[in-house]
Amino acid sequence: MFVEHLQLKNFRNYQDLNLHFDHQINIFQGDNAQGKTNILEAIYVLALAKSHRTSKEKELVQWGQSFSVIKGTIQTRRNSLKLEMQLTSKGKKAKINQLEQRKLSDYIGAFNVIMFAPEDLTLVKGSPQYRRKFLDVEIGQVSPSYLYHLSQYQKIIQQRNNLLKDFTKNEKNKLELLEIWDQQLVEYGSKVISKRLYFLRHLEKWAKEIHAGITDQNEELSILYKPSFPLELGNIDVQDMSDQFTLRLQKIRKQELFRGTSLIGPHRDDLYFSINQIDVQSFGSQGQQRTTALSLKLAEIELIHDEIGEYPVLLLDDVLSELDQKRQTQLIQTIENKVQTMITTTSTEGININTLKRSSIFYVEQGL
């Protein structure tokens, strides 16, 4: 799939912008703070109904304005879609072919993007929340049911935490309520975990292959799911997992009451990356961490293709010129002739000359 046309109204530093894109490679070149990332961000919001860099919608609306609109025409193999996101301080509206989608989970997934930005290094190095966010965003793109189960799970966690927080001893009615939350926690939590495991099995297969391509086969990348409670991860089914989850909750009940918060479940799980069995997060070099993050991103491109039969649009924010020739070549091999790619950069120096030859270049200056 590819974005054919993008129209912005009051989005960040763009008052009115109309762009037609090349179906393959588009390069946005300009000095710092001119609005290059803002274009990629707009495309990201159009696909995922939220920004990759802020959770506050208000920040996306141009200063002094009350609303912002992003419109895009997306060509998929089957049809042409008109997508629209409206953002105001009160909330957001999402439309597909002029029809408002009441649930965002019905909107997300119509158009798929993968963003790779310098911050993505935090995927390997940063705290577990980045890795959970990575899982949630990427799985959510291809599985509306995952998004639904996850949002249910998050609501339950919030309610359950409120209950645990002001729990005083021997309140029978509260204990009964906690048991109800426990059942639901286990039900939705197990669905979330099992979907993550399924996704990771596929992701790992691709990531290994891509990683081997970058590193001449001598470094083997592995990805493990690290659950927050002891869980046999082999060929586990949802029922088994629910049973183990329930047992564990009973065991830690006292601890949870004492701490006043939910201590186990997918909101506390993590990922573990290793190269030749060595933990990349703790012992990997900068280069190994970078290669791991790149392999994961490129693996996602293939995974989305496996799941939906189309390649997503790739958004590369300030990363291409940072990659050495070998990594650039691997990246270009992955996207060549199949993945529409948007690249931002302050200079084309250090970018593989073949990429430049086959691309449209947009010069970005103060929102123009």
Q: How far is the CB of 56 from ligand ATP (least distance, A)?
A: 10
Q: How far is the CB of 6 from Mg ion (least distance, A)?
A: 17
Q: How far is the CB of 33 from Mg ion (least distance, A)?
A: 8
Please name the residue ranges forming H helices in the chain: 36-48, 104-107, 122-125, 128-142, 144-165, 172-214, 238-251, 253-259, 280-283, 286-308, 325-335, 353-357
| Beta carbons of 257 and 167 less than 8 angstroms apart | yes
Q: How far is the CB of 64 from ligand ATP (least distance, A)?
A: 8
> How far is 109 from 310, CA to CA, in rounded Å?
12
Indicate the residue among 37 and 292 with the shorter CB distance to Mg ion.
37
Which residues within the stretch 31-90 sit at the binding site for Mg ion (CB under 5 A)?
37
Indicate the residue among 244 and 341 with the shorter CB distance to ligand ATP.
341
| Beta carbons of 193 and 209 less than 8 angstroms apart | no
Rounded to a whole number, what is the distance in angstroms from the first to the last CA of the chain? 26
Rule CB under 5 A: say whether 194 interacts with Mg ion.
no
How many residues belong to the site for Mg ion (CB under 5 A)?
Answer: 1
Among ligand ATP, Mg ion, none, what binds residue 75 when CB lies within 5 to 8 Å by partner kind?
A: none
Among ligand ATP, Mg ion, none, what binds residue 248 when CB lies within 5 to 8 Å by partner kind?
A: none
At residue 226, the 3 state secondary structure works out as: strand
Binding stretches for ligand ATP (CB under 6 A): 12-13, 30, 32-38, 59, 61-63, 318, 344, 346, 364
Indicate the residue among 59 and 100 with the shorter CB distance to ligand ATP.
59
Indicate the residue among 310 and 322 with the shorter CB distance to ligand ATP.
322
Q: How far is the CB of 29 from ligand ATP (least distance, A)?
A: 10
Amino acid symbol at 53: R
At residue 229, the 3 state secondary structure works out as: coil
Indicate the residue among 61 and 83 with the shorter CB distance to ligand ATP.
61
Amino acid symbol at 104: L
Tokens standing for 146? 């995952």
Q: How far is the CB of 50 from ligand ATP (least distance, A)?
A: 15
C-beta atoms surrounding 239 within 10 Å? 10
> How far is 349 from 70, CA to CA, in rounded Å?
31
Indicate the residue among 49 and 275 with the shorter CB distance to ligand ATP.
49
Amino acid symbol at 316: L
Q: Which residues bind Mg ion (CB under 5 A)?
A: 37
